[in-house]
């Protein structure tokens, strides 16, 4: 079997065998176990200049190939164009995006530097799979360097309607670069349709035919097992004891403005205001470790949350009960799994999210005999599959409040019925199935339109069947 070359902005730590890269490493686990692979990308370190030759480290059948980022590229490629411009625009937040031509130049330079460092490592029959919004241009750079391998591109975040995307200066350049890609994946059919429309509008109808929806999943049974094992772990028992018999609602997110955290806090406050019988009966634990702390928007978000939590706790707390507990430190994954299993309610209310794996993890973590209720944003990709959740508009605190009220009062048979539906779909769309589907579309064993179909998606959400483009010779 040919080698698989994974390209992502971040590369897991080879010393830990890839265990630290979160969702993507989990999703790639089976594929990496079965074939020779290279995982290529940024080391996570900065240096005077971006590296020209990748540092190589071997672990099992995988070679980890990493480059340090130069200080200038870190500023313009990573903090600038990727995180301050593309990230908000792709999440429909044109108004808070910050553009600077030097940032776009840094983005072009870094995509090219990645391509130049990867090209010499490639073998003729490798399959190259590029991940996410940091690397829109890289496939075109590889082609310009003469690379003929199959190249796939998967966008983990949403793709907005083209009227929003076109607000981004240089939007057309990013779309044009996708010409170099053989199979283009998005999380949902809505994202795929938006991307197809943007491509068709610039005369790239043939490229639009290579776009398909491939909903990412989790290692469902693995996470369920982890949660069951941790149900009585020390930290979990400590949390349970501290609740004094009250119900737990839990939120687990990176501290990011797309995750809807201030609105969620306001929704929880609105629930206590409007349904006072729940006061003193429920505690909300929000775990949100700081990410991208050096980007100004993120510092402002942190202040806003500190104030929001402080205000509600100040108004509502009793000497023996604080309604909200808020942790900005990282909590270990196994412990989080145990916390999720204990929770009566999972609050997952992003303003926009490609998929949102936390929603699926919450479902997997539940005790099948007494499952909790998921309150889920209609704007998370996961909402397409998880129709057993209480679906809310995250911008409306009253909607969140009403869903929390319904979740608190939900009888056991309804909780069971909703959870069973969600668990069936989380299992059917596991991470390894996602990986297989995408690779079979890219490697030519399935039509892109068929390969993206998840069993759990309603028939109306299926992409129209489109012919697959043959790879350039």
**What string of DSSP letters covers 138-199?**
HHHHHHHTT--SEEEEE--S----HHHHTTSTTHHHHHHHGGG-SEEEESSHHHHHHHHHHH
Q: Which is nearer to ligand ADQ, 270 or 285 (CB)?
A: 285
Q: Specify whether the CB–CB gap between 7 and 40 falls below 8 A.
A: yes
Distance of CA 60 to the CA centre of its chain: 27
Q: Which residues pair with 373 in a beta bridge?
A: 345
Sketch the per residue contact string, 42 through 71, with ligand ADQ: x for CB under 6 A, - otherwise: ------------------------------
Sketch the per residue contact string, 332 through 351, with ligand ADQ: x for CB under 6 A, - otherwise: -x--x---------------
Pairing of strands 324-327, 247-252: unpaired
* 353 is a catalytic site residue: yes
CA proximity to 358, closest of 331, 340, 342, 345: 340
Burial 38-73 (b: 16+ CB within 10 A, else e): bbbbbbeebeeebbeebeeeebeebbbbbbbbbebb
Count, residues near ligand ADQ per rule CB under 6 A: 22
Question: Which H/E stretch holds residue 285?
Answer: strand 282-287
* 71 is a catalytic site residue: no
- Written in H, E and C, the secondary structure of 78-146 is HHHHHHHHHHHHHCCCHHHCCCCHHHHHHHHHHHHHHHHHHHHHCCCCCEEEEECHHHCCHHHHHHHCC
Residues 304-333 interacting with ligand ADQ (rule: CB under 6 A)? 330-331, 333
Residues 136-165 interacting with ligand ADQ (rule: CB under 6 A)? 156-157
Q: Which is nearer to ligand ADQ, 14 or 23 (CB)?
A: 23
Q: Which is nearer to ligand ADQ, 63 or 258 (CB)?
A: 258
Q: What minimum distance in Å lies between the beta carbon of 157 and ligand ADQ?
A: 5
Q: Which is nearer to ligand ADQ, 51 or 88 (CB)?
A: 88
Sole binder of ligand ADQ in the list 5, 250, 305, 357 (CB under 6 A) = 357
Sole binder of ligand ADQ in the list 358, 365, 449, 456 (CB under 6 A) = 358
Q: Which is nearer to ligand ADQ, 223 or 270 (CB)?
A: 223
Six-digit token string for 396:
């409306």
Residues 241-300 interacting with ligand ADQ (rule: CB under 6 A)? 252-254, 287-289
Residue 340 DSSP one-character state: H
Residues 77-116 interacting with ligand ADQ (rule: CB under 6 A)? none
Catalytic, out of 91, 131, 134, 156? 156
Q: Which is nearer to ligand ADQ, 72 or 256 (CB)?
A: 256
Q: Does 17 bind ligand ADQ (CB under 6 A)?
A: no
**Given the rule CB under 6 A, which residues bind ligand ADQ?**
22-23, 156-157, 216, 252-254, 287-289, 330-331, 333, 336, 353-358, 361
């Amino acid at each position: 079997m040919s080698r698989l070359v994974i390209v992502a902005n971040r590369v897991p730590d080879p010393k830990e065998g890839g265990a630290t890269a979160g969702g993507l490493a989990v999703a790639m686990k089976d594929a990496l176990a079965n074939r020779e692979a290279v995982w290529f990308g940024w080391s996570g370190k900065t240096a005077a200049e971006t590296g020209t030759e990748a540092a190589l480290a071997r672990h099992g059948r995988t070679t980890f190939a990493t480059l340090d980022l130069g200080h200038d590229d870190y500023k313009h490629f990573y903090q600038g164009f990727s995180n301050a411009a593309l990230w908000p625009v792709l999440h429909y937040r044109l108004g808070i995006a910050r553009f600077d031509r030097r940032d776009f130049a840094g983005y072009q330079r870094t995509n090219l530097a990645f391509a130049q460092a990867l090209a010499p490592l490639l073998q003729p029959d490798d399959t190259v799979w590029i991940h996410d919004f940091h690397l829109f241009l890289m496939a075109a750079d590889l082609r310009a360097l003469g690379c003929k391998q199959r190249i796939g591109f998967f966008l983990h975040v949403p793709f907005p309607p083209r009227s929003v995307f076109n607000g981004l200066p240089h939007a057309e350049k990013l779309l044009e670069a996708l010409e170099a890609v053989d199979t283009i994946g998005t999380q949902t059919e809505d994202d795929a349709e938006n991307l197809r429309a943007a491509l068709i509008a610039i005369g790239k109808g043939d490229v639009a035919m290579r776009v398909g929806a491939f909903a990412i999943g989790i290692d469902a049974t693995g996470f369920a097992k982890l949660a069951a094992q941790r149900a009585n772990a020390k930290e979990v028992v400590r949390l349970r004891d501290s609740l004094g018999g009250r119900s737990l609602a839990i939120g687990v997110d990176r501290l990011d403005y797309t995750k809807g955290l201030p609105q969620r806090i306001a929704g929880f406050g609105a629930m206590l205001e409007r349904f006072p019988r729940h006061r003193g009966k429920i505690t909300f634990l929000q775990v949100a470790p700081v990410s991208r702390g050096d980007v100004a928007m993120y510092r402002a978000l942190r202040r806003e949350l500190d104030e929001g939590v402080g205000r509600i706790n100040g108004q509502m707390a009793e000497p023996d009960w604080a309604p909200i507990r808020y942790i900005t430190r990282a909590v270990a994954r196994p412990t989080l799994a145990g916390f999720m299993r204990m929770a009566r309610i999972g609050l997952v209310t992003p303003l926009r999210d490609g998929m949102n794996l936390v929603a699926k993890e919450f479902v997997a973590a539940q005790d099948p005999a007494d499952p909790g209720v998921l309150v889920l944003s209609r704007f998370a990709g996961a909402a397409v599959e998880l129709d057993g959740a209480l679906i809310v508009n995250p911008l409306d605190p009253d909607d969140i409040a009403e869903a929390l009220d319904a979740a608190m009062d939900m009888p056991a048979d309804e909780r069971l019925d909703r959870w069973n539906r969600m668990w069936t779909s989380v299992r059917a769309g596991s991470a390894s199935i996602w990986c297989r589907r995408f690779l079979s579309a890219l490697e030519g064993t399935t039509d892109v339109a068929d390969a993206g179909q998840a069993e759990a998606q309603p028939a109306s959400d299926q992409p129209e069947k489109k012919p697959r483009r043959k790879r350039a010779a």
